[in-house]
Amino acid sequence: MSEELRARTLKVEDLIEYQNGAVVSREIIRKGTGTVTIFAFDKGEGLNEHTAPFDAMVQVIDGKAEITISGNKNVLEKGDMIIMPANEPHALHALERFKMILTMIRS
């Protein structure tokens, strides 16, 4: 974690900026037990279906996205969250520009 983020109040949506036609990420915390990463997706961008060996929680902090987990589509908006279980296929698609916090817990 960078020193600029430690022990101070921050506006989470200001920690990352949108970029046209891109997915941008910024790792906030990296520990042996897990990570916290902020992402900004331009409208229409996403992540193809994949799996991860650990549970992960997505918290949408701006915009709107479709998150598919094991074939089940979920539409999330600012303030929503979802748990993506370990080893289940999941994908993300930005229905409009959106930002999220991804918290991955290693077990």
User: For 9-61, how does the pLDDT look when each residue is reduced to its tens digit (9 = 90+)?
Assistant: 989 989 999 999 999 999 999 999 999 999 999 999 999 999 999 999 999 99
Residue 15 lies in domain: 3-105
What are the residues whose beta carbons fall under 8 Å from the beta carbon of 12, sequence distance 6 or more? 38, 61, 101
Stretch 67-74: mean pLDDT: 98
Mean pLDDT of all residues in the chain?
95
The three-class DSSP label of residue 3 is: helix
Q: Confidence class of residue 82 from pLDDT cuts 50, 70 and 90?
A: very high
Q: In the Cβ-directed half-sphere of 12, how many Cα atoms lie within 13 Å?
A: 18
- The CATH number assigned to the domain holding 43 equals 2.60.120.10
Q: How many domains does the chain have?
A: 1
The single residue listed with the structure tokens 């479709």 is 66
Reduce the DSSP state of residue 89 to 3 states and report it: coil
pTM reported for the whole predicted model:
0.92
